[in-house]
Structure formats: structure tokens, C-alpha cells
Amino acid sequence: MIKTNRQNIAIIGSGMAGLGAAYRFGCESVVPVIYDKNPYLGGHTASWTDSYGFTFDEGPHISFTKDERIQELFADSVDSEYISAKAIMNNYWQGHWIKHPVQCNLYGLPQDLIESVIRDFKEVIAKNDNEEISNYSDWLVATYGKTFAETFPMEYGARYHTTTADNMSTDWLGPRLYRPSLEEVVRGAQTPNTEDVHYITDFRYPLNKGFVSYLSKFIKDIDCRLNSRVEKIDVNHRMLGFSNGDVKTYDQLVSSMPLPELISIIDGVPEDVIKASRMLAASMCLLVNIGINREDISDAHVSYFYDRDFVFTRLSFPHMLSPNNAPPGCGSIQAELYFSDKYKPLEKKSEEYIQPVIDDLMRCGLMREGDHIITTEARLIRHANIIYDLDRAAALAVVQGYLDDIDIQCCGRYGEWGYHWTDESFKSGENAAQKVLDAM
Ligand SMILES: Cc1cc2nc3c(=O)[nH]c(=O)nc-3n(C[C@H](O)[C@H](O)[C@H](O)COP(=O)(O)OP(=O)(O)OC[C@H]3O[C@@H](n4cnc5c(N)ncnc54)[C@H](O)[C@@H]3O)c2cc1C
């Protein structure tokens, strides 16, 4: 069916947010034009299958949304061909494999550490709750006590967020860090048989072709121009300039591109907004993907690493998400290494991290002598996680205020500069589209 447009609507980005916006417009028979700089659709939800038959996503992607509408939309996209599984996560600290989350699963750790953690935790509970919390570090100490906070989440956080807990706010926490009762901490120190309490309990993952398959429904009937990098925006004349020299007009603009980059391509941005946009920080993630001739690598879907001398912060095992992510009898490992321009710049070429990753996989026992490495790849994600440093909130308010004034609807993880999961990015795109529709 040919749909008619009331207005010329442009969307920058074909990731979850851009497609969420396009989906909402489509529900009202409006067809926007989507522009994406990449030669492929999907942004961070893209997946790649190599010539050996290994499929890797752009970072470990599982859908754990509790939103039934989104669950149904995603399921419909893959004709209900998805795998539904209980999420298994574990932790590695100084030679110990620990069930997730560590705070409820201290069993097997050194006795003096356990005693110190429990003593601190009792003290924290005995205190009243009115202590002033001015950063993530305060929150961790007030929640778990000093020993646990400093040994586990502060160490992991510095490796994942690339900055220290005392330089971070707490407005991103949500359900991410579980606060146990004293009984749970004590029980977890006495037995390995504990309840599963992580906020991600179950997940769904497409059976075939990786996470990107969840986009199938949303890319039907869209007008998407790939290889179209927007590099100039003239808001007065409502014009987009592209890197190939093309110029297109728009009546309404929805953008899911990263805010600092967006600000840098708009004509005539005030100095204070430019300055604020430069304070917004995101981590980069270097993915090292490895395929080997063995599938019994790990029981977990995801493993968190706390030790500073390990090059990676997190591991996942794509063949555990779907058997079709690796050739029969083979297994795959995806290592995540975090950097940021603001706090921890990348020091070497991406490929130079492959061997250190393999060395550390051998050191922790996940890879072993005799494993045959079939494939390796290093892939750098320029924008991974938004860093909730203490500069973020004020800088973001300045940038968002300006973008509202010039009538650009921003959405998604990098357009709203938040810790959005795929479902939230999609809904953020829908909301941006709704604002445009309301104004039409
Ligand atoms: C390592 C990692 C693991 C994750 N794991 C999960 C998970 O398990 N589950 C989950 O639900 N979520 C997960 N997420 C979050 C998820 O990836 C995001 O919520 C979602 O993909 C963001 O979609 P988006 O559309 O907002 O941004 P993007 O996917 O980045 O889309 C933005 C698009 O804009 C395009 N663009 C940028 N600049 C320009 C320009 N100048 N011109 C034209 N186009 C441009 C880009 O090419 C891109 O396609 C993870 C994220 C990361 C980084």
C-alpha cells in the first residue's frame, strides 16, 4: 500500500530508536526518510556472520524487556522463532568463579574477606538511612559497606565506566545493583545454593542470524538511505547536508545520532551549548570476537571480570544464545574492553588487543592448550555506554534545552544520552515520533 505524507520527515539513524520512530509514523500512514551513515541497517543491533559460520552481535545483545507489547513486536519480527532462556551470569575475581551477584554469593571466597564484608554490612544496616549520598561511591559504601564496595563494584565500575565511582552520579542505577538483606548475605556466604536475584532473569534471543533479526518487522516498507552521513544541519532553512555533497530538505527532524556529534554539525550553535556537548562522555567498547573448535567453554552467558590485570571487563558466549551462532561443535567468545576519550583513551590499534585477550582467556582457564582458534576479529564501537559522570546532568540539560528550541526531536541511547536498552531506545523513538505527530 502506498502511504501519503503530510510532511517531509527525516530521521537520522536506523538503529532501534530510528526504527521505533519510523514504526510510530508508519502506524499513522506517514513514511519518513531514514538516513544512516552505515552501509547496513540497525546501528548497535547489527549482527555479522563470518565465512566460517560464526555470528557475532555488536556487543552481547539479549532482549530482557518486561514490556509485553515490545516482547510481542520482537517475537512477531522473527515469526516466533526465538530462544527463551534463564540468564546465567557469573563473576571472576582473583582465581575464584562466583555466582552473580557477588553480594549474595560470597561462598568460597577467603574467610577474612567474608567476615569483613559481613561486619561492614551489619554496620551499614545499623546506621540510619539519612546519610548524604553525593556520588556513586557514597551510595556503594552506604549500601554494601566499605570492604565489599571497594573490592567488587568499585573495581568493576572503574573498568566498565572508565572513571571512578566518586566521579559518578547515581541516577542510572535503577534495578542494576541488587541490595540484599543481611540474611541473604550470610546465607550466600554459607552455601552455593542461593536464589537467583539478578534483575535480568529470563531473556529471548532470535534463533537465526543474530539479534538483528528482531528488526525484520520494522524494516519492511521503510524508506532508508544507507551510506548517507549527515554532516551539516541548517535549522533555519531546514536542510541536511551529506558527506557526498547531497542536500535534502526536511519539515521535521528526528535524530538518534550521538548528541556531541549532532551539536558539532549544526550551523550557528551558541558557544555555551558547544562547551556543554563536549562534556558529555561515553565509553568506547573494543570487541574481540573469537571462534574455537569447542563449545563447552563456559556454563554462563555472561562473565564479569574484576581484576585490573585482565585486559577484558566482560565476556559473553554467543553460541550459548543460539546454537546457530556457531558451526556445529564450535563455540564463540566475545570479549569487551572499555576505553573513553575523556578518561581512558585507546592506547593501541584494535587488532593488537587480540593476543592479550587470548592470553587472559588461557589464564582464567576458559581457553586451554589444544584449542584450535578458527576465527578472530577486533571491532571498535565508538559509542558504547553513556558515562554518568558528575558533569553529565548539567551539560545534558543545556544541550537538550537548545535542541528543543531548534525543534530537533532526539531519541535513543545516544540521542537522549541515557542508559537505554533496546526496548527503551525503540520506545524513545516512538515518543519522538509522537511529538512530531502531535505538532502536525
Ligand atoms: C556493548 C553493548 C551491549 C548491549 N547489550 C544490550 C542488551 O543485551 N540488551 C539490550 O536491550 N540492549 C543492549 N544494549 C543497548 C542497545 O544497543 C541500545 O539501546 C540500542 O541499540 C540503541 O539504539 P539507538 O537507535 O538509540 O542507537 P544506535 O543503534 O547507535 O543508532 C544510531 C544510528 O545513527 C547512525 N548515525 C550516527 N551518526 C550519523 C550521521 N551523522 N548520519 C547518519 N547516520 C548517523 C548510526 O550509524 C546508527 O545506525 C547494549 C549496548 C552496548 C553498547
* Residue 242, ligand 1, Cβ within 6 A: no
Q: Which of 24, 61, 218, 380 to mutate to test the pocket of ligand 1 (most atoms within 8 A of CB)?
A: 61
pTM of the predicted model, to two decimals? Answer: 0.96
Count of Cβ atoms closer than 10 Å to residue 271 Cβ: 7
Mean pLDDT value across residues 254-273: 98
| Phi, psi angles (nearest 5°) of residue 90 | -145, 175
Which residues constitute the domain of residue 319? 50-84+198-210+283-382
Q: Do 36 and 55 fall into the same domain?
A: no
Q: What is the mean pLDDT of residues 198-222?
A: 92
Closest ligand 1 atom, CA of 336?
1
User: Using CA positions, which residue lies closest to atom 2 of ligand 1?
Assistant: 59
Task: Indicate whether 401 and 374 sit together in one domain.
Answer: no
Dist. CA 376–CA 61, nearest whole Å = 19
Domain presence at residue 1: no
Q: Are residues 299 and 246 in the same domain?
A: no
Give me the torsion for CA of 265, 268, 271, 273, rounded to 10°: -60
332 is a domain residue: yes
Contacts of 235 (CB under 8 A, 6+ apart): 266, 267, 268, 406, 407, 408
pLDDT tens digits along 334-359: 999 999 999 999 999 999 999 999 99
Rg (CA), the chain: 23
**CA 320 to centroid of ligand 1, rounded, Å:** 23
pLDDT digits (tens, 9 = 90+) for 58-104: 999 999 999 999 999 999 999 999 999 999 999 999 999 999 999 99
Residue 5 confidence (pLDDT):
59
Domains held by the chain: number? 3
**Is residue 79 domain-shared with residue 224, that is, in the same domain?**
no
Mutating to test ligand 1, I would choose from 35, 409, 413, 417 the residue with most ligand atoms within 8 A of its C-beta, which is 413
What pLDDT is stored for residue 4 in this prediction?
Answer: 52
Q: What is the arrangement of strands in the sheet containing 247-249, beginning at the earlier edge strand? A: 230-234, 239-242, 247-249
91 domain residue, yes or no: no
Does ligand 1 come within 6 angstroms of the Cβ of 412? yes
Q: What is the tens place of the pLDDT at every residue in 110-165?
A: 999 999 999 999 999 888 666 789 999 999 999 999 999 999 999 999 999 999 99
Residue written as grid cell 546501528: 43
Amino acid, res. 439: A
SS3 per-residue string spanning 81-127: CEEEEECCEEEEECCEEEECCHHHCCCCCCHHHHHHHHHHHHHHHHC
The CATH number given to whatever domain includes residue 308 is 3.90.660.10
Query: How does DSSP assign 375-410, residue by residue?
Result: EEEEEEESS-SB--BTTHHHHHHHHHHHHHHTTEEE
Residues 311 and 233 in one domain: no
Same domain, 133 and 165: yes
Q: What is the 327 CA–ligand 1 centroid distance (Å)? A: 27
266 lines ligand 1 (CB under 6 A): no
Residue 387 placed within a domain? no
Identify the residue whose C-alpha is closest to ligand 1 atom 20.
Answer: 422
State if residue 413 touches ligand 1 by the CB under 6 angstroms criterion: yes
Q: What pLDDT does 302 receive?
A: 97
Bridge partners, residue 387, by sequence = none
Closest approach atom of ligand 1 to CA 14: 49
d(CA 80, CA 207): 9
299-313: b or e for each residue (b if 16 or more CB lie within 10 Å)? ebbbbbbbeeebbbb
Does residue 310 share a domain with residue 252? no
Query: Residue 3's pLDDT band (boundaries 50, 70, 90)?
Result: very low
For residue 338, the CA-to-ligand 1 centroid distance in Å is: 16
- For residue 230, CA distances in Å to 34, 41, 76, 372 come to 11, 15, 32, 43
Contacts of 38 (CB under 8 A, 6+ apart): 14, 46, 226, 227
Residues 348 and 411 grouped into a single domain? no
Check whether residue 176 and residue 163 sit in a common domain: yes
